[in-house]
Amino acid sequence: MGIRHTMKGRRALSAVAITTGLLLTVAGCGGGDDGNSDEGAPTSSASTTSSSSDGGNSESKTPEPETVLAEVKGENGLVLAITSAKRDEGGFVTVEGTVTNNTDGAWVAANWRGDEQELTKNGASIAGAALIDQKGKKKYLILRDTSGRCLCTQFTGGVQQGATAQWFAQFPAPPVDTTEVDFQVGGMPPASIQLTEGE
C-alpha cells in the first residue's frame, strides 16, 4: 500500500515537472528576441515618448508644430505670433502665442504693460494688450485679479536677443456672434484673429 502511494506521488510530481518545463519552453519561444531581427519593434525612444507622461515638460517630447493664426512684426525686429484664441466656459477668451526677439539686445516688454496706473504692478508683461471688436465697436482689456495683477504672462528677466518666449492673455469674451477680433499690444500692428470654441 505504501509503495503504491509513493509511486502515485512520484508520477504526480513528474507530471508537474514536465508541464512546468513545457510552459517555460513555450514562454521562452513566444516572446523572445533572437537578436537577429528588430523589424517592427519600437525603439526605446519611441516607446518612451508615446507612453510617458511628463506633466507638461515639453522638453522631453518632440514639439508639435503650432498653427499660427496671425503674425505681426514691429518694434525693431520683434515678431509677435498668435497660435490660439479660444472662448472658455467661464465667459472669457484665452489668447496664446509667442514673441521672438530679433532686436539688437535684450527686450523687456516695457511698453507692453499698458498705461493704466493699476497695471504698473505687473512689471514687464503683456498686461496692456486688448481685443478690439470692430463689428461691435468695443475694446476688451485684459482681465485682472482683485489685487490688480493681470491674467497674463509676465516676462520676468525679459527676452534675450534671438530667443522666443511663450505668452498668454485672458480677456472678457465678446458676444457669441463675434467670431473675429483684432489683438493689439504696445506699438505692434493689430493682428486679426478668429475666435474658436474651447474644448
**pLDDT tens for the 199 residues of the chain, in order:** 554 444 444 554 454 445 445 444 444 555 445 544 444 444 444 444 444 444 444 444 545 567 899 999 986 889 999 999 999 988 999 999 999 999 999 988 888 887 777 777 777 889 999 999 998 899 999 999 888 888 999 888 889 999 999 999 999 999 999 999 999 998 899 999 999 987 6
What local confidence, expressed as pLDDT, does residue 65 receive? 61
Within 10 Å of residue 35's Cβ, how many Cβ atoms? 6
What local confidence, expressed as pLDDT, does residue 180 receive? 95
What local confidence, expressed as pLDDT, does residue 199 receive? 64
Task: Report yes or no on whether pTM surpasses 0.75.
Answer: no
Within 10 Å of residue 179's Cβ, how many Cβ atoms? 13
What local confidence, expressed as pLDDT, does residue 110 receive? 81
Angle at 90 between CA 88 and CA 91, to 5 degrees: 80
What local confidence, expressed as pLDDT, does residue 61 receive? 53
With CA atoms as reference, report the closest residue to 166 among 174, 177, 155. 155
How would you class 158 by CB atoms within 10 Å of its CB: exposed for 0-12, middle for 13-18, buried for 19 or more? middle
Within 10 Å of residue 105's Cβ, how many Cβ atoms? 10
Asked whether 170 and 142 are in contact (CB, 8 A), the reply is yes
Within 10 Å of residue 70's Cβ, how many Cβ atoms? 18
Residue 89 is placed in which grid cell?
Answer: 466656459
- Which residues lie closer than 8 Å to 181 by C-beta, 6 or more apart? 85, 131, 132, 133, 134, 140, 174, 192, 193, 195
Half-sphere exposure of 14 (CA within 13 A, CB side): 6
What local confidence, expressed as pLDDT, does residue 197 receive? 86
- Which residues lie closer than 8 Å to 72 by C-beta, 6 or more apart? 79, 80, 188, 189, 190, 191
Half-sphere exposure of 117 (CA within 13 A, CB side): 0
Residue 43 is placed in which grid cell?
Answer: 525603439
- As a whole number of angstroms, the distance between CA 173 and CA 151 comes to 14
What local confidence, expressed as pLDDT, does residue 82 receive? 97
- As a whole number of angstroms, the distance between CA 83 and CA 66 comes to 6
